[in-house]
Amino acid sequence: MKKRNLLSGTFCAAALLAIAPLVHAQSATKWPEKPVRYIVPFSPGGVSDGVARLLAEQLSKQLGQSMIIENKPGVSGILGTQTVARSAPDGYTIMGGTITTHAVNPFFVKSLSYDPVKDFTPVALVGMVSNALVVRADSPFNSVQDVIDAARKKPGALNYGTAGPGTSQHLSGQLFQSITKTTLQQISYKGGSQAMVDLIGGQIDLIFETVAAARPMIDSKRVKVLGVTSAKALADLPGVKPLAELGVPGFEMQSWQGVFAPAGTPQAIVDKLAHEIAIAVKMPEFGAKLRQLGVEPDGRGSREFGAFQAAEVQKWHKVVQEAGIKAN
C-alpha cells in the first residue's frame, strides 16, 4: 500500500512538472489581460523616460492593453529598480534599465538592495546611447591627442563634468583614463545640463556628454566635438571619428536602454514581450523617434541581451577596479 502511494505521489509530481510549461505557455497566450506597470527609475524628461513613453505607447497598440508609466527616481535609479526586483514575476511589472541600474551600481553602492543579474530577467535591448567628448569653443584643445598630452604633462590638472558616479559621463572618463594612463578630476553635478553650463563658462575643461544632450550646444558652435565614444562613427555627427581611432585604442563606451522583468517571470511571457519590442524597434517611424532621443535602435531579445549585460558587468568591474574606486 505504501509503495502504491509513493508511486502515485511520484507520478503526480512528474505530471505537475510536465504541465507547468503548458500552464506558462497558456498564460503567455492570454497575457496581458490587464494594464502593465512600466517602472522608470529616473525622473521625467530624461532619455530613459522618453524611451519608456515611446515604447509604452507603441506596445499598448500592439498588445491591446495599456502600459502605465510610473517614475520612481532616486539614488542612481536604485529606488525604482528595487521596486521591480521585489514585484511579482507575473509579467505585469516591467522596467526600463540602463548601464547604471543593471551593470555598474554594485561597484559604486555598498550593500545594494538588489542584484542586477540574479533579481531580473532581461527582456530586450532597446537601443544604444553614445557620448561625445566636447570642450568649449575657445578651448586650447583641438584634438583628442591635445587632451591626452595635457593630461600627461600635468596629472590631475584637467577636470571633467559628470551627472554623478556610475553615469555614462563618469564611466567614459574612467575608461579614457584607464586606456591613456592619465589622471583627470571628476566634477560631479546633479545633472548634465549644469555641467554643460560650467563647461561653456570655463569652470571645467571637458565633458563626455550624450550626443543628444550636447547637440544644441554643438549646433550653436558653443562647444567643439573632439570625438565620439562609440566604436563606429555616428551618422548624426558626420566627420567626427571615434576615440578609438584618435589615440585611445580599444575605447568603446555606450550606455544602453533595455527592458527588464523580475526574475522568475515566465519565459513565454518574456519572449512574447521581446518579440513585440523587436517589432516596434524595427519600425522606421519608431526608430526615427528613438534617434531623436539619441538612442540608436537595437532590438536584441532576452538571451542575447542577457549575454550582453553579463559582458558589460565584467567590463566595467575591471575598469572600476583598475581606477581604485570604492563603493560608497
When mean pLDDT is compared across 23-37, 173-187, 206-220, 274-288, the lowest value belongs to 23-37
Contact 128, 256 (CB under 8 A): yes
Distance, CA of 14 to chain centre:
41
The model's pLDDT over 292-319, given as tens digits with 9 standing for 90+, comes to 898 999 999 999 999 999 999 999 998 8
d(CA 27, CA 49): 29
pLDDT for 110-128, tens place per residue?
889 999 999 999 999 999 9
Question: Of 136-150, 166-180, 188-202, 260-274, which gets the smallest average pLDDT?
Answer: 188-202
* Residue 66 contacts residue 36 (beta carbons within 8 Å): yes
Residue type, 64: G
Q: Give pLDDT, residue 1.
A: 53
Give the torsion sign (CA, 170, 113, 69, 309). Answer: positive
State the cell numbers at 95: 522596467
Q: Which helix (H) or strand (E) holds 208?
A: strand 206-210
Reported as a pLDDT band with limits 50, 70 and 90, residue 11 is low
Which tens digits make up the pLDDT trace of 241-288?
999 999 999 999 999 999 999 999 999 999 999 999 999 999 999 999
Nearest CA to 234 among 221, 243, 222? 243
3-state SS class at 290 = helix
C-alpha cell read off for 50: 522618453
The CATH 3.40.190.150 portion of the chain extends over: 32-128+254-323
What is the pLDDT, as a whole number, of residue 199?
Answer: 96
CB 100 within 8 A of CB 166: yes
d(CA 40, CA 32): 19
Structural contact between residues 308 and 291, judged by C-beta atoms closer than 8 angstroms: no
Radius of gyration of the chain from its Cα atoms, rounded to whole angstroms: 22
Q: How confident is the model at residue 7 (pLDDT cuts 50, 70, 90)?
A: low
Ranges of CATH 3.40.190.10 domains, the chain: 130-245
Distance CA 147, CA 213 (A): 22
Cα 95 from Cα 257, distance rounded (Å): 10
For residue 326 the three cell numbers come to 570604492
- Note the CATH architecture for domain 32-128+254-323: 3-Layer(aba) Sandwich (3.40)
Q: What 3-state class would DSSP assign to 125?
A: strand
Residue 144 predicted with pLDDT over 90: yes
Q: Whole-number mean pLDDT of the chain?
A: 90
Judged against a pLDDT cut of 70, whether residue 17 lies above it is answered with no
- Which pLDDT tens digit goes with each residue over 28-47? 678 999 999 999 998 888 88
Distances (CA, A) of 15 to 18, 29, 96: 5, 22, 37
Q: Looking at per-residue confidence, does 222 or 111 come out higher?
A: 222
Q: If you ran DSSP here, which 8-state letter would residue 163 be given?
A: S
> Residue 271 corresponds to which cell in the numbers above?
519572449
pLDDT of res. 12: 52
Q: Average the pLDDT over 56-76 and give the result.
A: 94
Which residue intervals of 31-104 are DSSP H helices? 47-63, 78-85, 99
Class (C level, CATH) for 130-245: alpha beta
**The pLDDT of residue 24 is above 80:** no
Query: What single-letter amino acid sits at 148?
Result: I
